[in-house]
Amino acid sequence: MKRIVFLTGTRADFGKLKSLIQAAESNKNIDSHIFVTGMHMHRKYGLTAIEVEKSGFKNIYKYYNSTHESTMDLTLAKTIEGLSNFIREEKPNLIVVHGDRVEALAGAIAGALNNILVAHIEGGEVSGTIDELIRHSVSKMSHIHFVSNDKAKQRLIQMGEMAETIFTIGSPDIDVMFSNNLPSIDEVKSYYNIPFNEYGVLMFHPITTEVQFIEQYARQLVNAVLNSKLNYVVVYPNNDLGSDSILKAYESFKNNPRFKIFPSIRFEYFLVLLKKARFMIGNSSAGIREAPYYGLPSVNIGTRQNNRALNSGIVNCGYEQVDIEQAINSALKLNHIDTSAQFGVGNSAQLFVETISKESFWNISKQKLFKDLTV
């Protein structure tokens, strides 16, 4: 039996990993464990570790790494310390990490330096700010890659990764997006006491490389959505440096009946809200990944998702209030949005389990080689 540790640090990456964990737990040859840390452990952001526990998974370990607006280097060090102690006890055969968060980098470092196979979900993608630097660093510290599309695979090959260690499975959250087990919109609105039928979804995260401007960015965004006279479901930003400036700006929404604000929303419920929204606005990856699959227009503000994806339903704009207002109006006028698959077709969990069930997978060398491109 092979022991796998899935590391999750945020509500977002848990949503991405959830179908993979379910598939792993259903396999009698896999002993699955979940290391829960980061934003999950903060009450201010919804204490979403509770949601992980409610999912019914076994072998959940919670670790508080003091991440509230602490610098990324300290968060990295603290997470490595906690995970290293954990894996010395559990002795996993594989650590699975996702994306571009500093907790994922901690997982890759701890695994690689302890001679444990590391698998990275959704490597080889590009975006703006420091997130891209972290994502590529995680890829280089990982032995195995589960990517969302062939373009991501080619980028990893360009980075010197061996093609035989890269498996294209799509984006795992697509599995959940089109699941038959999602709640109804009425159930979601009742659960979260959302009174309006038409609304936009707002998610705006700090940009750590532009932290000195975050307060100004957030104020321009808040003024724009207030001026739009539309209803909004607002979800807190992640806890990167600058989040407090965004939350301070959100205080203008208090006692305004057009706004419902939540520290976090359960992933499946969020997907239903997204699917039924008029549009999405902010700089979350949900606006450029999930939204197009649902045929939903999206206003993408600023640099955080630079070069991440192109779609007819994404309206890019700057940080100024007038630019955001114009982008909202443009998004609401869109008649056709390309819903063709860019990140898989919803069978990621199946492809993941099929891959890890092969003996050849477990024979992938922990000694990485650099593959030079043939000129």
* pLDDT of 309 over the 70 cut: no
Q: What is the pLDDT averaged over residues 146-151? A: 96
DSSP class of residue 45 equals G
321 shares a domain with 356: no
Q: Which two tokens stand for residue 219?
A: 């104020």
CA distance 116 to 88: 11
248 and 146 in a common domain: no
Q: Is residue 234 part of a domain?
A: yes
Whether residues 78 and 164 fall in one domain: yes
Q: Which domain, by its residues, includes 310?
A: 185-332
* Cα–Cα dist 69/89, whole Å: 30
Instruction: Report pLDDT for 340.
Output: 73
Residue 69: its pLDDT value, please? 53
The residue that leads in pLDDT, 24 or 312, is 24
pLDDT band at residue 374, thresholds of 50, 70 and 90? confident
H-helix or E-strand spanning residue 174: helix 173-177
User: Is residue 136 domain-shared with residue 205, that is, in the same domain?
Assistant: no
Looking at the structure, do residues 114 and 142 belong to the same domain, yes or no? yes
Instruction: Say yes or no: 83 and 147 in one domain.
Output: yes
Does residue 311 share a domain with residue 211? yes
Q: Is the pLDDT of residue 339 over 90?
A: no
- Position 341 in a domain: no
CATH number for the domain harbouring residue 307: 3.40.50.2000
Q: What is the pLDDT of residues 198-211, one digit of tens each?
A: 999 999 999 988 99
- 375 pLDDT band, cuts 50/70/90, is low
Please give the order of strands across the beta sheet that includes 279-282. Answer: 259-262, 232-235, 200-203, 279-282, 298-301, 314-317
Mean pLDDT on 228-233: 97
Residues 83, 37: Cα–Cα separation, whole Å: 9
Residues 111, 8 share a domain: yes
User: Residue 70's pLDDT is what?
Assistant: 62
**Residue 239 shares a structural domain with residue 99:** no
